[in-house]
Structure 1
Amino acid sequence: MNPAFHAFRPGLVAPAILFAAFAASTWAKDPPAIEKLRVPAGFQVTVYSADVPNARALAIGSKGTVFVGSRSAGKVYALSDADHDGRAEKSRVIATGLNMPVGVAFHNGDLYISAVSQILALRDIEEHLDQAPGLEMVVSDLPSETHHGWKFIAFGPDGKLYVPIGAPCNICDRDGYAKILRMDADGSHREDVAFGIRNTVGFDWQPGTKQLWFTDNGRDLLGDDLPSDELNRISRIGEHFGYPYCHQGDTLDPEFGKGKACKDYTPPALRLGAHVAALGMRFYTGKMFPSAYRGAAIIAEHGSWNRTEKSGYRVMTARIDGTRVVGYEPLIEGFMVDEKSWGRPVDVLVMPDGALLVSDDQAGAVYRLTYSR
């Protein structure tokens, strides 16, 4: 699975079209510089929508609506591709004025939205896209700290809503944080799932095993090359992945690692590199891509902010054999040119046709990755 990379051909992008009601022009601002992207041979990148400022987490409804959260914009968007041509004709704002509504999760017709201390719901949302219903409060008592307070959320195979509680700091040891919990759809029956997780902004369940895998962002201020961001796998309830005592499976924290041993914590399934800011991840379950990609974890590396030489700013493929990661390779590169980024990938989403959507909060866009022989 190491095909030669090629530069994206700008001729693959159709001319811009104007959206109808509730949508501004796709190219109201400079179009995303997708001609700079590099993908393996046979793959193509197009713009699914360029009208999603600060686009973050992605989810899809039962009728094909793509929902997009945001962080600084405080909005949630609904993207519609009614003619199924691979480009969203409409971008609607269906919620606004929220506190970091990063996470979106669709369940039984309803859209669940994370907003730091709250989980809210838009009921039967795909029947009311032009006039969204009022937000219904599901949970109102999650921690209110905004440092790592934005939350990716998702429903698991067990029907439970999984919610991360990030550490409210770079490095600290506070009860009730740095974990993943789950709950019923109405917010009841909460249970802690795993601990020692500094800040996960992406997770998914492996097909077949149904085990939960997640990315985690390593701490800052230990230099350019320590510690690594991580891809982790939960094999049992209550597992501890080290934070704040041990990082990347083998490095004790200079402050909180005193008297601790890394062998007492679960090491990462894969070290992703220091400060790459690994965020969204999904297992590829489609059939469009070559067979080598099926069952692989696709990971969005948002990119570093505090490294002498920048790292990340790409979408990667982690090939997995059972419980072992056996390869880690680029899928989309070129969001950064000469140490300057024009885009930052955040989340990925496998579509029913096998295409892959990628959100970009810097360019305010969602891209569509396809493959053809």
Structure 2
Amino acid sequence: MKKSTILRWSTCLLVVLCQLGCSSNSGKPDANEEGERTSTAAQDTASENVTEQPATDADLAKISLPDGFQISYFARNVVNARSMALGPDGTLYVGSRDKGSVYALPDRNKDGKADEVITIASGLNMPNGVALRNGSLFVAEISRITRYDNIAQNLKNPPKPAVVYDKFPTEEHHGWKYIAFGPDDKLYVPVGAPCNICLRKEPVYAAISRMNPDGSGLEVFASGVRNTVGFDWHPTTKELWFTDNGRDLMGDNMPPDELNRAPKKGMHFGYPFCHAGETLDPEFGKGKDCADYTAPVQKLNPHGGTLGMEFYTGAMFPENYKNQIFIAEHGSWNRTEKIGYRLSLYRTDAQGKGSFVPFAAGWLQDGKEWGRPVDVEVMPDGSMLVSDDMNDAIYRITYTGNK
């Protein structure tokens, strides 16, 4: 082959390689500068298209994350891991639903991995929710809240629990609870609707209530909430934000799950009359007006199984993640095409405009799930934990890129 021909082919090859290597956000369609791809619709099913990250574990290698982020296991064999709460000494407490157990996961040497999985309690009735206050662990079952005092010093010999409150409804349908103490030092406890769609006279149903730490003074804080399994308070405004699962049997794409904001007591978020601020229920919406109820801040994936959420308050992630909301999407159970099975991000810009984007995805592969995210927890070092009740694991997400 003549030298001139070789030179021409070499030049063409260099041009092609340059184009591939220099193109912005290569392989990330519609990606923003953080490497995230904005969901163009609430029912976004192609949201798993973000940058894949290297991982030594075969399953973790399936998880895609924005550039600079890594995922690893904080703990495995945490059977049916659900809601999480962090103790002041760094011990992670984890509830379960179907397993009926509550776990403690200490990380004494602070290496980002749990030293062991300790079962604090077993044989409980769907102890999904856990919360910490003044050294005591509060556990939410279907109809009661119990308290384990001085828990950190007695992980392997926990005290007999004290009953804080035992008059919640006994229905298991949407009866499992996420609990947390608010800035007002009250314990917030939701009770979901005991059905897909129904109207119960008792105000405690389909509502978020709150009580004093000793169980006294129970009152409804927010109504019209079908089933929330995750909420948090804004770090600056101290306003309550929560996720809510939309009703079933209105089609694959109706209604969407919701992200809501409740800055004050007494607000009604529509259920069972109006869904997502705009759709009257075919049965209970007759004679109602959606304008009478509070619309969601953001519509989320329909039937996405939206559960835990938390504001990011750490310092490890880049600054543009500060005070933004991470949301665990457990995944759909009855949708024709499965959706969710990921960790998403609700981000607001300087003008207050919000966007709903995927952050970590890959637990759903070719229509088959191998994991289901449930809850998120920001750690003191700025890393973030994600629980998974299908893979029986707690993942740890870290950032090692340039800020």
- Regarding TM over 0.5, the answer is yes
TM-score range, shorter chain: over 0.9
Q: Which residue is 1:138 aligned to?
A: 164
**Equivalence map 1:161-240=2 (5 Å):** 161-175=187-201, 176=203, 177-240=205-268
Q: Which residue is 1:7 aligned to?
A: 52
Bigger share in helix? 2
Q: Secondary structure at the match of 1:307?
A: coil
**Unaligned regions of 5+ residues in structure 2, if any?**
1-31, 36-49
**Equivalence map 1:181-330=2 (5 Å):** 181-321=209-349, 324=352, 326-330=354-358
| Distance in 2 (alpha carbons) for counterparts of 1:338 and 1:233 | 34
The ranges of structure 1 where at least 4 consecutive aligned residues each deviate by more than 6 angstroms after the TM superposition are none
Q: Secondary structure at the match of 2:193?
A: coil
Q: CA deviation at 1:212?
A: 0.1
Identity of aligned residues (%): 54
Is contact 2:55-2:71 (8 Å) kept?
Answer: no
Is contact 1:295-1:320 (8 Å) kept?
Answer: no
Q: Which residue is 1:54 aligned to?
A: 80
Whether 1:87 aligns to 2:113 is yes
Q: CA deviation at 1:3?
A: 2.9
Is contact 1:110-1:124 (8 Å) kept?
Answer: yes
Cα deviations by residue, 1:52-105 (Å, 9 ceiling, x for unpaired): 100000000011100000000000000011111111011000011100000000
Cα deviations by residue, 1:11-56 (Å, 9 ceiling, x for unpaired): 3x6xxxxxxxxxxxxxxxxxx8111100101000000001210000
TM-score, scaled relative to structure 1: 0.93
Q: Secondary structure at the match of 1:113?
A: strand
Q: CA deviation at 1:132?
A: 1.2
Is contact 1:276-1:302 (8 Å) kept?
Answer: yes
| Distance in 1 (alpha carbons) for counterparts of 2:152 and 2:74 | 19
Summarize the Cα distance change of 1:269–1:323 in structure 2 as closer, same or farther, 3 Å threshold. farther
Whether 1:69 aligns to 2:95 is yes
Query: Once structures 1 and 2 are overlaid, which stretch shifts more, 175-184 or 155-164?
Result: 175-184
Amino acid in the other structure paired with 2:160 = G
Q: CA deviation at 1:273?
A: 1.8
Q: Secondary structure at the match of 1:7?
A: coil
Q: Which residue is 1:43 aligned to?
A: 69
Cα deviations by residue, 1:330-367 (Å, 9 ceiling, x for unpaired): 11000000000000000000001100000000000000
Is contact 1:69-1:77 (8 Å) kept?
Answer: yes
Amino acid in the other structure paired with 2:34 = P
| Distance in 1 (alpha carbons) for counterparts of 2:243 and 2:220 | 17
| Distance in 2 (alpha carbons) for counterparts of 1:139 and 1:360 | 28
**Unaligned regions of 5+ residues in structure 1, if any?**
14-31
Q: CA deviation at 1:325?
A: 5.0
Q: CA deviation at 1:322?
A: 8.0
Q: CA deviation at 1:2?
A: 4.1
Is contact 1:297-1:320 (8 Å) kept?
Answer: no
Summarize the Cα distance change of 1:273–1:75 in structure 2 as closer, same or farther, 3 Å threshold. same
- Find 1:114's aligned residue among 140, 160, 168: 140
Is contact 1:45-1:367 (8 Å) kept?
Answer: yes
Pair member with larger Rg: 2
Is contact 2:331-2:339 (8 Å) kept?
Answer: yes
Q: Secondary structure at the match of 1:349?
A: strand
Is contact 1:102-1:114 (8 Å) kept?
Answer: yes
Work out the number of aligned pairs and report it.
Answer: 354
- Find 1:123's aligned residue among 136, 143, 149: 149
Amino acid in the other structure paired with 1:37 = I
TM-score, scaled relative to structure 2: 0.86
Amino acid in the other structure paired with 2:341 = Y
Task: Please provide the CA RMSD for this pair.
Answer: 1.3
Q: Secondary structure at the match of 2:152?
A: helix
Q: Secondary structure at the match of 2:65?
A: strand
Q: Which residue is 1:147 aligned to?
A: 173
Q: CA deviation at 1:189?
A: 1.0
Q: Secondary structure at the match of 1:230?
A: strand
Is contact 1:216-1:232 (8 Å) kept?
Answer: yes
| Distance in 2 (alpha carbons) for counterparts of 1:306 and 1:105 | 31
Bigger share in strand? 1
Whether 1:336 aligns to 2:360 is no
Cα deviations by residue, 1:237-293 (Å, 9 ceiling, x for unpaired): 100000000001100000000000000000000000210111000000001001111
Q: Which residue is 1:17 aligned to?
A: none
Q: Secondary structure at the match of 2:117?
A: strand
